[in-house]
Structure 1
């Protein structure tokens, strides 16, 4: 029997990912089984049907893949030792286990995401599973998930007070789990309920979170001594993080936390965005350089973190780093909230508002959206559009004057 791993070029997802498939060939019969692993299309060597060398998590991915292939080979060897005839379906049968419940399959994915270090995505699955367990305390099987089940779950979430997009996120996650389980033949589905239940219709346009250039200027000049909610040093860090993000193409909080001295060369910044793995580089504005200098240490090493968020000696494991970033981000946003109150702002400032504000201020200044998208490290213009606020009423009125 021949066993190999393959990926299909014609099955690339919107996230530019491909599924790794295990191909089995025996006595003229071919079976293809999903491994449950998905990777960026650029990580796969299509000529040699293997993972490319040097990709992130290569050793762990190879281990997970080899483990599954060895399981099939072990089963084949058992048949040979016993002198029994076997078919390819007999070999596949060892991989088939008693039907997993929805919770068990969710947990399987959660564990895999933890192993891969994708902790934000892992938590999204954990939160969805938690809400499902609150909805139905009994063990749910995939065959229980019909159209009416989905409608009832939606009603449960709405009665719980969740916003439309929070509900949509949970259903998007649930649909992903359902389809993965279906691909892995965890259950037999006669009628896919998600063909009738449209997850896309749950999403609603969100209020854009940008502030204008004048408000940015007010923030930078604000006397923080008027804010008594917490120590001034905490408020300074919160404002500095916000301003640095705004001044550096909307760099998000996680990437700020990971900035090291090695990422700065004179007045230019070089970093790989964690979310898209895309390299970004641009010159630092004097105001951004001033913030960096404020937190820089003369005796620092190249691999030291610049901002007082992570410490390479304390935050070592992926979980420690993840927890620390979550904790500090929450504290930063809380302190930005105090600043918002002191400025009498209608909407609270957050680190995310800085990213939106960068994009919107450039748009209103006439900068091409393609340039904004490139600076933000987006994969496409559609993603950038989400960040862009509409034009101000005054700008619209001025534009209309050109009609007559």
Structure 2
């Protein structure tokens, strides 16, 4: 006969010190373990009764959850025995996976656990998006935590309307809704919540695919004003302006990639680097002002192949976490400086590092350069198609296109 017992699986320890609560199935010395999707610290577990102790803040809920599942399993075993059916451990385990488990863990707490794992694995950008999503929903609900039951078709609709009222861009709302849906799917996979739970069943994301993000670019004339502005070389503004200008002349390279450029990426007057976002190899000719800016930073470096070109990162930034944090901080500072430059020149567009990226595409488009060569959708929906076209053009054509920037 198959024996059924709840246990605290201490062979596995999570980053927060908790262990998974599991159901152990035993038959003729063989064992199978089924996770409940909930965890518990050892000091909250009653080893004698194999249940959460009175010290556990959710003891009653967990005991009900465990007993309900144990009873469901026992009924399956009893039914099989009465019908003279031979039930194997694998068959029983597979049938258990179809038993719906009511969530006892809050959705916000589950997101915290995911964030810990992401941080441990060095996936800082995803960690930041998950954390921002959680904090945004906490502000929406105006409480310290929220549960799976809080997310339904009504709350999703209200969340969207609240974003519109605050003036959020549709792309921002889309990001938080899409991320939450991803998190819920992860919870279902780990059996933290009922596999049938789907608050987005009646919600359509199609509306967001029809919305085009408002483009940000400045005119060639305004860009010249930025280039010609007199700035003290000892100021932070000087470097921020240089990064902006180099981004423009280097094919709209984004800040994350620019900050991690090394001298090894430069071969004569060509720039070769792998774009972090897409892992694609980018090859662009360096013209005019881009080369002049590189000459400036040769004074700050020994120009060894492994040296960073720009004084943004150094050898102390050795982990993905430290790099991400540093880039986030410096990008914020640069955008502040660019905004100050824009206000000084009385520009209509709020300057950011992204503006240089889009201005690159816009200026060449106005010069009559093929959209395929420009890469009008740099980093956007048509990027793969654009890169395929770019690869098919010779370096001479690319050189001619980039010379239009000067």
Whether these two folds match at TM > 0.5 is yes
- Relative to structure 1, the CA distance from residue 160 to residue 217 in structure 2 (aligned partners, 3 Å threshold; closer, same or farther) is closer
- CA distance, structure 2, for counterparts of residue 328 and residue 147 of structure 1: 39
How many residues were matched structurally?
A: 305
**CA deviation digits over 1:319-362, x for unaligned, max 9?**
11111111111111111111111111011211100000001111
Does the aligned pair in 2 maintain the 1:260–1:306 contact within 8 Å?
A: yes
Match for 1:212 among 214, 219, 238? Answer: 219
- Structure 1 contact 280–377 (Cα < 8 Å) conserved: no
1:173-198 per-position Cα deviation (integer Å, ceiling 9, x unaligned): 11222233334443225563323222
Query: Structure 1: 5+ residue runs without aligned partners?
Result: 1-70, 226-230, 385-404
Q: Return the match for 1:107 from 109, 112, 122.
A: 112
The answer to whether the Cα contact below 8 Å between 2:217 and 2:349 also exists between their aligned partners in 1 is no
How far apart are the structure 1 equivalents of 2:117 and 2:268?
40
1:221 maps to 228
Contact 1:269 1:281 in 2 (8 A): yes
Question: How many Å apart are 1:153 and its aligned residue?
Answer: 2.8
Distance 1:88 1:318, change over 3 A: farther
Counterparts of 1:158 and 1:236 in 2: how far apart (Å)? 38
Q: CA deviation at 1:87?
A: 2.0
Partner SS for 2:272: strand
1:363 offset after TM fit, Å? 1.4
2-structure distance, mates of 1:193, 1:383:
35
1:120 maps to: 125
Q: Which residue number in structure 2 is paired with residue 361 of structure 1?
A: 363
Separation (CA, whole Å) in 1 of partners of 2:98 and 2:329:
41
Match of 1:345 in 2: 347
Match of 1:193 among 192, 199, 222: 199
Residue number in structure 2 paired with 1:164: 170
Equivalent-residue separation in structure 1 for 2:327 and 2:191 (angstroms): 38
Q: Deviations over 1:131-189 (max 9, x none)?
A: 22233326533344221121233344445553433222211211222233334443225
Distance 1:310 1:273 in 2: 17
Q: Residue in 1 aligned with 2:253?
A: 251
Contact 1:280–1:375 (CA<8 Å) still a contact in 2? no
Alignment counterpart, residue 313 of structure 2, candidates 298, 301, 310: 310
TM-score, length basis structure 1: 0.66
254-263 or 197-206: which moved more? 197-206
Q: CA deviation at 1:377?
A: 6.4
- Partners of 2:376 and 2:28 lie apart in 1 by 57
Displacement of 1:221: 1.3
| Structure of larger gyration radius | 2
Q: Which runs of 5+ in 2 are unaligned?
A: 1-19, 33-87, 387-406
Tell me if structure 2 keeps the 8 A contact 1:369–1:381.
Answer: no
